[in-house]
Amino acid sequence: MDKEQVEQLKIQMQQWVNEAEKFINDIPPVQLYVAVGVVLSTLILLLISIISVELGTSFTDANNGSFNVRLFKGTASNTIVLTGLSGSGKTYLFYQLRDGSAHQGTVTSMEPNEGSFILHSEEDKKGKLKPVHVVDVPGHSRLRPKLDEFLPQAAGVVFVVDSVEFLPNCRPASEYLYEILTKASVVKKKVPVLLLCNKVDKVTAHTTEFIRKQLEKEIDKLRTSRTAVSDADISNEYTLGVPGEPFAFSQCHNRVIVAEASGLTGEISQLEKFIREHVKP
């Protein structure tokens, strides 16, 4: 391109700039501000979309309308949720995991016990260990909505059952467990559930096999009765089991494991094994 062509190009570009300035000056200020706002909003939304794809951001609409944002999809959760009916011994287990003692677990919890710590049994181990974020959610029916605050971040759920007082509590325990197993936040992520039969040190405690079978029978009844409920009433639930077959935990969308423990004596090895399977050291 010779010097004359360059000059012609400069003149042409200057004409375009002058025409653009004239066009902008002719636009009313309000319309101009709106146009700039639209362009900026579009750029911001595009940037958020790119970040969401690159970092794996997930926006989870909780029941209370709030949003839980989780960046870096590849980062595994370290949250273990303890739940179950009141009096099942969840708080004993919480303090055994943290302190190796049940000294503070004698009062029924009305607020979640929450903490991030190295498991007490691992305190003498060498090397860097990943802390576990343990949440003990109160079992009282009026306080159970608090569970929804923690399930979206859960690496695992521990449903604690009182092995001694199991029979009188079989129905309410089954209803609560049914609710958990059909929650979208549990099913979609296939959150593993440990069905932990607590207080097995007592002579009158029922066996884990008996408790498992009774819960399966009760959940089978619940599943049958709830099919009569309209879709509008169970829009946030998933169905359990295989149609036409008796319900079994092996049919669940996520893994359900049955184990035993004694929060009072500190025999919680199966619980600790479950935690470390899903929260790697």
Q: How far apart are CA 46 and CA 40, in angstroms?
A: 10
Question: What mean pLDDT is predicted for residues 46-53?
Answer: 55
Chain centroid to Cα 29, Å, comes to 48
pLDDT > 90 in the chain, percent: 48
pLDDT, residue 13, reads 75
Q: How confident is the model at residue 30 (pLDDT cuts 50, 70, 90)?
A: low
Interior CA angle at 260 toward 257 and 263, to 5°? 130
Q: Is the whole-model pTM more than 0.75?
A: no
Q: What is the pLDDT of residues 3-20, one digit of tens each?
A: 666 666 767 776 766 676
Closest CA relative to residue 195, chosen from 84, 95, 100, 108: 84
Residue 199 has pLDDT above 90, yes or no: yes
Helix ranges, 56-109 (H) = 90-99
Closest CA relative to residue 258, chosen from 170, 158, 174, 189: 158
Instruction: Match 């999809």 to its residue by tokens.
Output: 73
N-term to C-term CA, the chain: 67
Neighbours of 119 (CB within 10 A): 22
- Listed in order, strand segments (DSSP E) in 71-163 are 79-84, 113-117, 132-136, 154-162
Q: How far apart are CA 113 and CA 271, in angstroms?
A: 17
Q: What is the pLDDT of residues 56-88, one digit of tens each?
A: 433 333 333 334 444 334 467 899 999 999 999
Q: How far apart are CA 104 and CA 218, in angstroms?
A: 33
Residues with Cβ < 8 Å from 89, sequence gap 6 or more? Answer: 105, 160, 162, 198, 199, 263, 264
Q: What is the pLDDT of residues 221-280, one digit of tens each?
A: 998 887 655 444 444 467 888 888 999 999 998 999 999 999 988 899 999 999 999 988
